[in-house]
Amino acid sequence: MIIDFHTHIKLSKKTRFDRNYFEEMIREAKANGLDALAITEHFNTLVFEEIYETLDRHYPYRYGYYEVEGVRLFPGIEVDIQETGHILIIGDRADIVAMRSRLSGHTEENAFIPFRELLDLAEQYNVLKIGAHPFREGTPLHHLPEEELRRLDAFDLNGKDLHAQGVEAYSKRIYDFAARLGKPVVGGSDTHQHLQYGCIVNELTEACHTVDDLKQAIAGGHYKISISPCLDVKVKSAAQLKKLLKKEMQVAE
């Protein structure tokens, strides 16, 4: 099973969930060879509730994922923390929706939840916890206490940062950092626009149906990460098209 652990299904936080845009994204993910996605949409995106309300109305959910156009979508969120940084949470739909509800008082920048409190909350649910882009300049994680970082399940080798900081140099930083903490690394494209799909993927040795399956595959090392030789083109072109689409939407308004 080929999966991307860090994806978005909206163009940006400020846009509403658009089913046509979403379905186009999924078709393109499939065309890029993906069998599964973790839909780690920002927890403070505009009208977050619309996402799961729409998914529940239109697509089947079984085991631990939605099935759309033959692609498995594992529910998730990307959460901002008070100390600066983002954490990816992936799990069963009910757990993700419940966690998001409990984070409703932390959606503004001056009220983001402290890292330790988020970990305490997440550990009340059966979820996969991934440290997103640990060395991104604006939202790093490497500055946080190691005893807290070790409570995560893995760290994100992020497509956008590989493009921005160089594949070889950035990969080494992430792998060295994760190794010091005794944690695995998984690949995430950080896609908001479909041209970015496939820039980095995880090839699992077996298909997964639940968050427990995903946890076991990661913890057991039953996967390999593949970085596309077209990574730079994919990320750069997606960023440029995203910028144009956002500008077009502003003009329309």
Give how far Cα 147 sits from Cα of 41, 85, 89, 228, Å. Answer: 27, 16, 19, 34
Q: Tell me the H-state helices in 32-73.
A: 49-58
Q: How much is the average pLDDT of 29-46?
A: 97
pLDDT of residue 249: 66
Using the predicted structure, report yes or no on whether residue 251 has a pLDDT greater than 50: no
Using the predicted structure, report yes or no on whether residue 149 has a pLDDT greater than 60: yes
Tens digits of residue pLDDT in 6-20: 999 998 898 889 999
Query: Minimal CA–CA distance to 73: which of 81, 62, 84?
Result: 62
What percentage of the chain has pLDDT greater than the value 70? 98
pLDDT of residue 191: 96
Query: Minimal CA–CA distance to 197: which of 165, 226, 155?
Result: 226
Numbers of helices and strands, H then E, in the chain: 9, 11
Q: How much is the average pLDDT of 111-123?
A: 98
* 38 phi and psi angles, rounded to 5 deg: -95, 120
Tens digits of residue pLDDT in 79-106: 999 999 999 999 999 999 999 999 999 9
Give how far Cα 153 sits from Cα of 86, 149, 188, Å. Answer: 14, 9, 14
Tens digits of residue pLDDT in 229-250: 999 999 999 999 988 887 776 6
Structural domains of the chain, with CATH: 2-252 (3.20.20.140)
Using the predicted structure, report yes or no on whether residue 74 has a pLDDT greater than 50: yes
Q: How much is the average pLDDT of 27-31?
A: 97
* 72 phi and psi angles, rounded to 5 deg: -85, 125
CA distance 228 to 200: 6
Q: Give residue 252's pLDDT band: very low, low, confident or very high (50, 70, 90).
A: very low
